[in-house]
């Protein structure tokens, strides 16, 4: 493991007033100061006026970075912070998509005050500004002081061989030649890339070269269609986006939602209300960790929409670039 930047090695000679690498960010810029906490020299971010006031790390000042390098930030909040939930985010701005890797720690009788954040840099990140800010949700005090103890930028030989996927369109429902038209009996629908989840009745139709999947006789929230990521040969270190479009055939209960779900883990990654909406579009960008972990993305509903039939009119998986 090669260390490209280590805050603790630089902090004694760092002039925060003139640094181009470490800068303040936000509509109301905070104040930076060197502070000693628990015998560790740390950067104190104080006088914050809103949650986006924070510390920025300008990666353009480190021209030798390359895709596959990792930035890690560790720090703490003041011990005297009131009990409750809080979060600190490591946000990458000015890249193909705005992304945040967040750490939320619930404070109980003995408050946890430490946070640790990490992000694998992609080609679109190398000229970006990385920002340490509080999250937009549930902070006890969104303008609380933040201490940054460590900033490390590391090069791991395991990430040196990351290759960009040459495919722009990885999968499209309309060009899936393995789908046969007609009504599928229970548990018979499956092409390798698309398979059945649960026991709905699946009907495939085609009009003007565009295929539709109709899911009827649904009774469970997991009755849907699985997009099997393993069969798409997604490349580690690449960023992909899945888009699913469709429409309803009738009304849906008030709290019914249609959703993308990552499996294993059963994590909702995109959902929209079904109430009074005849058409839907679900979009999710697969993170580095999700490409590694997820075997399937499921198009289904929550429990309130378990019996609602719906059409899937489009499924696409696209490559967006390196993570």
Query: Domain locations in the chain?
Result: 2-159, 169-322
Instruction: Report how far residue 219's alpha carbon sits from residue 320's, in angstroms, rounded to the nearest whole number.
Output: 36
Task: Write down the residue that tokens 């895709």 correspond to.
Answer: 67
- For residue 45, give the nearest of 37, 34, 58 by alpha carbon: 34
Residue 16 token pair: 């925060």
Could you tell me the two tokens for 150? 């460590």
Summarize the confidence of residues 187-202 as an average pLDDT: 88
2-159 CATH pick, 2.60.120.260, 3.40.640.10, 1.10.30.50, 1.10.10.10: 2.60.120.260
Predicted pLDDT of residue 1: 81
CB of 59 closer than 8 Å to CB of 66: no
pTM of the model: 0.61
Between 103 and 299, the higher pLDDT residue: 299
| CATH T-level assignment (fold) for domain 169-322 | Jelly Rolls (2.60.120)
299 forms beta bridges with 225, 260
Q: Is there a contact between 53 and 30 (Cβ–Cβ < 8 Å)?
A: yes
81: its two tokens: 């912070």
Dig out the tokens for 130 from the structure: 């990385």
Average pLDDT over all residues of the chain: 85
* DSSP H stretches of helix in the chain: 7-10, 288-293
Domain 2-159 and domain 169-322, same fold? Reply is: yes
pLDDT band at 161 (very low <50, low <70, confident <90, very high): low
pLDDT value at residue 96: 45
Neighbours of 43 (CB within 10 A): 22
């Amino acid at each position: 493991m090669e260390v490209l930047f280590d805050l603790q090695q630089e902090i004694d000679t760092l002039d925060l007033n003139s640094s181009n690498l470490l800068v303040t960010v936000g509509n109301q810029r905070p104040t930076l100061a060197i502070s000693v906490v628990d015998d560790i020299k740390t950067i104190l971010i104080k006088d914050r006026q809103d949650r986006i006031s924070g510390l920025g790390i300008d990666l353009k000042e480190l021209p030798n970075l390359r895709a596959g390098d990792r930035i890690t930030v560790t720090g703490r909040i003041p011990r005297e912070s009131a009990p409750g939930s809080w979060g600190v985010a490591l946000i990458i701005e000015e890249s193909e998509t705005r992304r945040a890797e967040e750490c939320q720690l619930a404070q109980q009788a003995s408050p946890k005050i430490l946070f640790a954040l990490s992000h694998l840099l992609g080609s679109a990140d190398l000229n970006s500004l990385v920002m340490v800010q509080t999250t937009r949700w549930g902070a006890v005090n969104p303008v609380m002081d933040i201490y940054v103890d460590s900033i490390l930028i590391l090069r791991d030989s395991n990430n040196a061989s990351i290759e960009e996927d040459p495919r722009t369109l990885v999968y499209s429902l309309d060009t899936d030649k393995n789908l046969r038209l007609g009504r599928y009996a229970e548990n018979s629908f499956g092409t390798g890339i698309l398979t059945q989840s649960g026991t709905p009745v699946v009907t495939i139709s085609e009009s003007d070269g565009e295929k539709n999947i109709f899911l009827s006789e649904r009774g469970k929230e997991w009755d849907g269609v699985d997009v099997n990521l393993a069969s798409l040969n997604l490349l580690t270190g690449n960023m992909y986006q899945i888009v699913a479009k469709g429409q309803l055939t009738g009304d849906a209960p008030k709290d019914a939602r249609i959703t993308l779900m990552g499996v294993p883990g059963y994590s909702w990654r995109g959902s929209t209300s079904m109430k009074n909406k005849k058409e839907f579009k679900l979009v999710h960008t697969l993170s580095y960790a999700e490409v590694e972990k997820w075997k399937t993305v499921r198009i289904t509903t929550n429990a309130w929409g378990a019996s609602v039939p719906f059409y899937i009119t489009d499924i696409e998986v696209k490559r967006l670039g390196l993570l």
